[in-house]
Amino acid sequence: MPKRIIYLQPAAPAKPAMGTPCNGCGMVSDPGAVLGWRRPWAVRLVARLARRWIAAGIGCDTDWEPQPPR
C-alpha cells in the first residue's frame, strides 16, 4: 500500500488513544475550520458526510500516531 500523508490542523483536537471514544479530530464539530472552507452549504455537506464516515463517539479505530511536520 502506498504511503499516505494526512495533514491535521494545529487547532484540531488531539487524536484519542485507540479504543477510546473518537472525537472526529475536528471534522465533525467544525469541518469549516479544519478545511478552511467558508461556504455554509459546503461546510454542512462535509459535516453530514463526516458523521457517516467517522465513528465519532464510538471507539477510535486507528493506531496511527501524529508525527511532527518534516
3-state secondary structure 15-40: CCCCCCEECHHHCCCCHHHHHCCCCH
| 11: in domain | no
What domain range includes position 42?
18-60
CA distances from 64 to 8, 15, 61, 67 (A): 13, 9, 9, 9
pLDDT in the model for residue 41: 92
Query: Is residue 53 in a domain?
Result: yes
User: What's the rounded Cα separation, in Å, for the pair 69 and 39?
Assistant: 28
pTM of the model: 0.50
State the total domains in the chain: 1
**Does residue 9 sit within a domain?**
no
Q: Mean pLDDT throughout 12-21? A: 77
The one-letter code for the residue type at 53 is W
Specify if 70 maps to a domain. no
Q: Is 31 inside a domain boundary?
A: yes
Task: Find the mean pLDDT for residues 11-29.
Answer: 74
Judged against a pLDDT cut of 80, whether residue 42 lies above it is answered with: yes
Do 66 and 15 meet the contact criterion of CB atoms below 8 Å apart? yes
